[in-house]
């Protein structure tokens, strides 16, 4: 549905001829391009080229600009689009113009819509990623990406959606396509079978198509990610280190023959005794530490590193303070767990990599700490769960433990707290309760590691 605008004034249009147009005229052979205007239906003309293709157009004046426009109608076909079909379309357009419609503007909008919908899914994926990672000012005043988890979303779009649906037009993607893709991820057709990856793919795709349907973009009229079949529930991880495993792990981290940086190993200890997430503690800066030599040492985690985007004030036990002081000993760096590459935080995946080890072309490159110490594999997040379990076994209230984990506790002493109370009015950090829990965990860890391990501490091949 093309439209072209010319600067020539109305009434001075060049013509190759004005006759009563017939189908036979459209079928004649020409040596060079010829335009034939229809006397019976003013404004209708056919353009015939030497290749034998005849195309109908409607020429009219744009009332808003006073310029002439040509509207593409279609290619001549004696069975499906002959002269009478073209005249019918012109009469319809003239009626719209007579009713006051700005047909030229309507056609321009249709052309723009067609151009937009001509983009492939791959193209709108890249446009979406650029939008997500564009820096904007956040509530704390810093400029950061619009969606700070954009890298994870981009990964799921590029790894799963693009290979299967990337060449399609967005409007061609159906609910069946998304459901089939998620089923294939669950069945392992994209690597290891994973319900989690399927769930994250659906979330990323839903965000993509909802964004594509917003006014101003209009790449699609509606998202295909609706009313999809439910995925099987994911089984929560329950890995908790036993007392023997804690002993082996803690003392094993002190070995000089481990192939992993000392600060990485101290960060793993720190996660166990503070219950903080890896991303929250790895960026620890000296300016975020308070009263290390006093009675109430604490670590303030800025909201930009916190999952729920709220500041965490985490009390520090004497064991946590010892770990920090060791990490800073002999260092002029501003970051507690600084990267071996310089005065900057270590990569957020470093702790997990150290536990798991690295591989190259399917072969072990650097063995992980779990394998080296003969421990059943676990993740940094399992250290948080282990600390919470120790606190629970010590008899601490679940609400207090939830505060240490930065989880939203819905109950306190079996009494449901209205959500507005927690979100708006109750900004207390409950430092006293949190300190009691973390001091208790630290004391329990000291008790555990004070005893010899049942198995010999040795590196295993």
pLDDT, tens only, 10-50: 444 444 457 899 999 999 899 999 999 999 999 999 999 98
**DSSP state letters, 69-101:** EEEEEEE-BTTTB-HHHHHHHHHHHHHHHHTT-
Name the helix (H) or strand (E) containing 357.
Answer: strand 357-360
Give the Cα separation of 88 and 83 in Å (integer).
9
Strands 18-19 and 34-38: parallel
Q: pLDDT at position 4, please? A: 53
Residue 181 confidence (pLDDT) above 90: yes
Q: Is 243-450 CATH 3.30.460.10?
A: no
Q: What is the mean pLDDT of residues 363-383?
A: 93
Q: Please list the helix, strand and coil fractions of the chain in percent, rounded to the nearest 5, in that order.
A: 45, 15, 40
Of the two residues 154 and 6, the one the predictor is more confident about is 154
| Interatomic CA distance for residues 31 and 39, integer angstroms | 23
Q: Which of 263, 272, 281 is nearest to 243 (CA)?
A: 272
Q: Which residue has the tokens 């990490």?
A: 327
Q: What is the pLDDT of residue 323?
A: 96
Cβ–Cβ < 8 Å for 5, 67? yes
Which pTM does this prediction carry? 0.65
In the structure, what pLDDT confidence band is assigned to residue 360 with cuts at 50, 70 and 90?
A: confident
Domain 3-117: state its class.
Answer: alpha beta
As a whole number, the mean pLDDT across the chain is: 86
What pLDDT does 335 receive? 93
User: Residue ranges of the domains in the chain?
Assistant: 3-117, 121-212, 243-450
Examine the pLDDT at 236 and tell me if it is beyond 50. yes
162-166, 234-238, 364-368, 384-388: least confidently modelled range:
234-238
CA distances to 11, 13, 58, 67 from 8, in Å? 9, 7, 15, 7
Whether 436 and 350 have beta carbons less than 8 Å apart is answered as no
Of 53, 43, 44, 42, nearest in space to 75 by CA: 53
Share of the chain above pLDDT 70, in %: 87
Q: By the 8 A CB rule, do 243 and 192 touch?
A: no
Predicted confidence (pLDDT) at residue 458 exceeds the cutoff of 80: no
What is the per-residue pLDDT for 114? 59
Q: Token pair for residue 326?
A: 């060791």
Question: What phi, psi does 37 have (nearest 5°)?
Answer: -90, 145
- The answer to whether 157 and 170 are in contact (CB under 8 A) is no
The whole-number average pLDDT for the span 319-328 is 95
Based on C-alpha coordinates, what's the Rg of the chain? 34
441 and 435 in contact (C-beta within 8 Å)? Answer: no
Residue 439 has pLDDT above 60, yes or no: yes
């Amino acid at each position: 549905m093309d439209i072209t605008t010319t600067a020539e004034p109305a009434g001075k249009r060049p013509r190759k001829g004005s006759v009563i147009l017939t189908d036979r005229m459209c079928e004649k052979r020409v040596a060079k391009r010829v335009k034939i205007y229809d006397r019976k239906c003013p404004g209708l003309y056919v353009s015939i080229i030497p290749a034998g293709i005849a195309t109908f157009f409607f020429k009219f004046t744009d009332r808003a600009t006073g310029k002439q426009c040509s509207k593409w109608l279609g290619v001549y076909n004696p069975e499906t689009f002959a002269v009478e079909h073209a005249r019918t379309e012109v009469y319809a357009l003239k009626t719209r113009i007579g009713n006051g419609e700005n047909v030229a503007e309507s056609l321009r909008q249709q052309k723009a819509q067609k151009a937009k919908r001509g983009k492939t899914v791959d193209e709108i994926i890249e446009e979406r990623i650029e939008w997500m990672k564009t820096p904007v000012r956040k509530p704390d005043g810093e400029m950061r990406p619009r969606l700070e988890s954009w890298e994870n979303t981009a990964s799921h779009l590029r790894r799963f959606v693009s290979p299967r649906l990337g060449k399609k037009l967005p409007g061609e993607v159906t609910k069946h396509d998304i459901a089939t893709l998620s089923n294939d991820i669950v069945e392992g057709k994209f690597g290891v079978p994973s319900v989690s990856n399927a769930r994250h793919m659906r979330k990323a795709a839903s965000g993509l198509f909802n964004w594509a349907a917003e006014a101003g973009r209009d790449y699609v009229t509606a998202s295909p990610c609706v009313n999809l079949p439910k995925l099987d529930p994911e089984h929560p991880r329950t890995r908790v280190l036993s007392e023997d495993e804690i002993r082996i792990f803690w003392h094993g981290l002190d070995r000089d023959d481990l192939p992993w940086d000392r600060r990485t190993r101290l960060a793993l200890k720190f996660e166990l005794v503070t219950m903080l997430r890896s991303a929250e503690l790895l960026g620890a800066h000296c300016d975020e530490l308070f009263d290390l030599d006093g009675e109430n040492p604490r670590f303030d985690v800025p909201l930009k590193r916190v999952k729920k985007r709220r500041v965490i004030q985490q009390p520090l036990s004497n064991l946590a303070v010892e770990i920090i002081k060791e990490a800073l000993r002999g260092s002029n760096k501003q970051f507690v767990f600084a990267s071996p590459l310089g005065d900057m935080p270590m990569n957020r995946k470093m702790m997990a990599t150290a536990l798991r080890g690295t591989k190259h072309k399917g072969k072990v490159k650097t063995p992980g700490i779990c394998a080296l110490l003969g421990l059943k594999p676990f993740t940094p997040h399992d250290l948080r769960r282990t600390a919470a379990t120790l606190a629970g076994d010590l008899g601490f209230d679940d609400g207090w433990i939830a505060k240490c984990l930065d989880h939203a506790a819905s109950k306190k002493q079996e009494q449901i707290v209205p959500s507005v109370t927690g979100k708006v009015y109750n900004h207390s950090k409950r430092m006293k309760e949190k300190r009691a829990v973390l001091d208790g965990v630290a004391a329990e860890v000291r008790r555990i590691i004070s005893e010899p391990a049942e198995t010999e501490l040795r590196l295993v091949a």
